[in-house]
Amino acid sequence: MTEPSGGGGGFDTDVIVVGAGPVGLALANFCGQYGLDVTVVEALDSLIDYPRGVGMDDETLRSFQAIGVTDGVLPHTTPNQLLRFANSHGRVFASIEPRTTAFGWPRRSAFIQPLVDQALLAGLDRFDRCRVVWSTTAGTVTEDADGVTLDVDGPDGPGRLRGRYLVGSDGGRSGVRKQMGVSWEGTTSPTRWLVVDLRNDPIGTPNAYVHGDPRRPYVSIALPHNTRRFEFMLFDGEDEHTMAHPDRVASLIHGVFPDIGRLDFIRHRVYTHHARVAGCFVKGRVMVAGDAAHLMPVWQGQGYNSGIRDATNLGWKLASVVRGLAGPELLKTYDTERRTHAASMVKISQRAGLLVRQTKPAAAMTRDVITRAWDLVPSLKRYVVEMKYKPMPRYTEGAVVPGGDAAVGRLFPQPMVVTRDGDTRRLDDVTGPWFSILTWSTNPRVHLDEDATRFWKELGAHLVIVRPTTQLHWPEPGEEDVTVVGDSTGTLKSWFDGHTGSVVLLRPDRFVGALGRPVDLNRMTRSFARALGSSGIWG
């Protein structure tokens, strides 16, 4: 990445996004919603039209809710998909069956990625200042004191695109990451997997099964719209071109399901599992996200979801900085907050893979004996079934105000609430997609001093009071510009029961930025402003 000494304005766009995959499109939707000008540069002439990711979690659906695309996404999902691990005899030794909807959506859903990508692309049509430039390759990235220039080569020939910031969401071979000059830490598994997608699902049963058969580990996944995915482990010495021949693929499938008849192929290709994390996600005005920042084995279905977490974390920070609401140092917290959690997801995906790809009978038998003991320990079984092993993001530094309460830096729950108009809505649809102050019963206006009031007004924050539904319609003075909702499920009272504060400063990504008492609100505001790099109103 070159760094000339000169600078200059003349911006074509606020943010350049390299790569029109799901992460780039989600990030563009976030930026567009927050009022930024975004240009997505894509080398292909259209979206990839075959399935890749197949598992979507509740955090991703919450992000899609935030950018207003769930109506287009949900028809292409199967909610509450179970993930079952079976041994060579077909006995299920681990079944992941999370039923919680703590964040407002099913914990696991199967989905068809090309159709979800189309919903993300269609979402950009709402924003006059967002565009995708197809059939255009990204070249040299040049950064200066004022912005970033990207050399491009498109249908009209070579050119240049100038923006304030650039994000590479251009996949595991990311040219942007390479130009940043950061390390690409981790390993690439020598094990290869043949992935096969079928139309007209010949099995039809729901859910996903991972079969740890030492003779040949394989996966069978039911997907929406009558689609089935198989994944077969390839052994050393097996030529991938030979194994990918339709006749050989059919023999593999008929080897485990001999009576399912004719196969209607969508595609088949060989993949290698990578476990890698970039040494840094941010360098100056250039960032990486999604597979450009981290790659992980598929066993927990977290590669896709981790990329959407990146876009969710980065979108509001770019908007805050570009709009002058926060200092540029806020962008460094994207690396601080996301890289550690991405690395933890890589590790747990690797560990899950060890349960599956045992090809030595003795090792597989040992696994079966150990995992059988899970059924004898109810607490351990719940730990697995409810996905409590999944490391949830928690930010102890970054754009947060650390304190004594463990809620700070964690994702806030999203129950259904009732409005004074009688509507029942998800909480995020009430608080809105930007900053908010959410309190239990207390009107935050009463406790804000003049400077803090001005800060939240300049930030465009939404003030929300949560009350028991029995008190929902009781009028209090000074509530004219505050939204009042009723805790119809009791979830929010239970949350506040378990924590030390009754005032929550919510970031746009719905993480708790700070938590305290009403009398702490001005101090919390100042500390939060410093964390954002936007404390200028106090000198």
pTM: 0.92
Q: How far is CA 46 from CA 103, 408, 429, in A?
A: 33, 41, 32
357-369 residues labelled b (16+ CB within 10 A) or e (exposed): bbbeeeebeebbe
| C-alpha torsion 307→313→315→321, nearest 10 | -140
Give pLDDT, residue 372.
Answer: 63
Q: How far is CA 392 from CA 342, 369, 433, 480, in A?
A: 10, 29, 21, 37
| Residues ≥6 apart with Cβ < 8 Å to 466 | 417, 438, 439, 440, 441, 485, 486, 487, 492
Which domains, from first to last, does the chain contain? 13-186+275-385 (3.50.50.60), 416-538 (3.40.30.10)
Which pair of tokens denotes residue 111?
């989905």
Identify the CA nearest to 414 among candidates 63, 2, 70.
63
Q: What is the pLDDT along the chain (539 residues), one digit of tens a residue?
A: 554 434 456 899 999 999 999 999 999 999 999 999 999 999 999 998 877 889 999 999 999 999 999 999 999 999 999 988 887 777 787 777 877 889 999 999 999 999 999 999 999 999 999 999 999 999 999 999 999 999 999 999 999 999 999 999 999 999 999 999 999 998 877 678 899 999 999 999 999 988 888 888 899 999 999 999 999 989 888 998 899 898 999 999 998 888 888 899 999 888 887 889 999 999 999 999 999 999 987 666 678 999 999 999 999 999 999 999 999 999 999 999 999 988 888 887 766 655 665 556 666 666 566 666 656 666 655 545 444 555 678 899 999 999 878 999 999 999 999 999 999 999 999 999 999 999 999 999 999 999 999 999 999 999 999 999 999 999 888 788 899 999 999 999 999 999 999 999 999 999 999 999 999 999 999 999 999 998 665 54
Give pLDDT, residue 528.
Answer: 96
pLDDT in tens, 234-285: 988 899 889 989 899 999 999 888 888 889 999 988 888 788 999 999 999 9
In three-state secondary structure terms, 110 is strand
Give pLDDT, residue 186.
Answer: 87
Give pLDDT, residue 203.
Answer: 92
How would you write 279-300 as a 3-class SS string?
A: CCCEECCEEECHHHCEECCHHH
Residue type, 375: D
Give pLDDT, residue 3.
Answer: 46
The C-alpha angle with vertex 85 and arms to 369 and 234, in degrees rounded to 5, equals: 100
Which pair of tokens denotes residue 32?
């567009």
Give pLDDT, residue 356.
Answer: 60
The answer to whether 439 and 464 are in contact (CB under 8 A) is yes
Residue type, 490: G
Give pLDDT, residue 274.
Answer: 83
The DSSP secondary-structure symbol of 125 reads: G
Kind of pairing, strands 208-211 and 148-154? unpaired
| C-alpha torsion 235→236→240→243, nearest 10 | -40
The C-alpha angle with vertex 210 and arms to 300 and 88, in degrees rounded to 5, equals: 145
